A = this chain, B = another copy of it.
Amino acid sequence: MKSSLNGASWVRQMFEEGEVMKRVYGEENVFDFSLGNPNLEPPESLKKALKALADRPIPGMHRYMQNSGYSETRKAIAEYLKEESGLSFEEKHVVMTVGAAGGLNIVLKAILDEGDEVIVPSPYFMEFRFYIENSGGRMRLVDTREDFSLNLSEIEKAIGVKTKAILINSPNNPTGAVYDQGSLEKLGELLKKKSQELGKTLYLITDEAYRRIVFDQIRLPIAFHHYPHTIRVTSHSKDLSLAGERIGYIAVSPLCEEADELISAIIFALRTLGFVNAPALMQRLVAPLQRNSVNIGEYEEKRNLFYSALTSFGYDVVKPQGAFYLFPKALIEDDLAFVKELQLKRILTVPGRGFGKPGYFRIAYAVDKKVIEAALPGFREVAEKHSTGKK
């Protein structure tokens, strides 16, 4: 355990350095793009639902329920998933969790045996490594293409006898990339072929925490359509801005063979890992809000503003189609040194090495628009310095 402390995430380190800087320079003078902490308030519908419950508490509403969560909540989510996918989701396919992070740990505990490998496209959310290793698994990174799309031939090469699952995250943290329908189709075909070749079931785990946050009117493909052994893990941290409340769910595809056994293992892991159940009050609040979300247009506006400005300053950025991250190339090779340069302008970002991609840096822009506007001159000055240097 002691040695793992050195691996503690760059995100949290930057976030905490930022807290110190804010005390020194004043909060309004530090431009904090370190942590993906949604700045939008939950929708009014959630506030109203909370007020209604507080005004007229339901007897027993804070007690234990079954480990998998309230029946009504799971039914409401199953209904939504059925509508979205056309597949026959039922209550039993949905398990309420302590956020997506809790959900991922549970799914991995349920499916992994010691030494099993989980393939993760890189750049990747750095906590995945710990989640996989917590259950005795090993993470196998596979680089994405230059535009951060899935590299299917590399994924194919990485699949071997020890592979148990592939864990994808789309829209992606840290890149904002969205995997398109074609790539999910091909991924599904590949997993079917390899499952057959290897004589065992490979799982597709989709971390869809940012599912609702997509731009340019694109429709996110539905992984359930392309591979039967798909397990979706998601949360309401971003779509309802409830990150601190730890409320999410796992949905197992009704097409999954041995779905019942898998779900039993998931519920067992939920219980014995000490989650016990998802927070009761939040389960009630999110049940009727499956079709609600914060105003995604605000995130799109911020992406447009930030992306246009950075490209005009000469930054090399793949235009993200979702989430609330930008992942530009650093203007010098050493991403950590570059992040430190930005820090001198009181701009907090995270070096790409924290996501398995040195030479890049991550900007989390779920902040007030005025923070972005105030930070842009700093980004320009740093860009100008390096452009002069190159001439």
Q: Which residues of A contact B (CB under 8 A)?
A: 1-2, 4-5, 8-9, 12, 16, 35, 37-39, 41-42, 47, 50-51, 53-55, 57, 59-67, 98-99, 101-106, 109-113, 127, 130-131, 134, 241-246, 261, 264-265, 268-269, 271-282
Contacts and interface: CB of A to CB of B under 8 A. Distances in A.
B275 A242 contact: no
A208 B371 CA distance: 45
A145 B16 CA distance: 49
Number of copies: 2
A323 to B, nearest CB: 16
A112 B2 CA distance: 10
Give the 10 A-B CB pairs with smallest separation, nearest first.
Answer: A244-B280, A54-B54, A130-B272, A105-B274, A101-B274, A51-B54, A102-B274, A279-B279, A37-B64, A64-B243
A37 B54 contact: no
Contacts of A50: 54, 57
Given A98-B246, A98-B274, 17 more contacts: A1-B110, A1-B268, A1-B269, A2-B261, A5-B268, A41-B60, A51-B54, A53-B54, A64-B244, A98-B102, A98-B275, A98-B276, A99-B276, A101-B274, A102-B276, A244-B280, A245-B279
Contacts of A8: 268
A263 to B, nearest CB: 11
A49 to B, nearest CB: 9
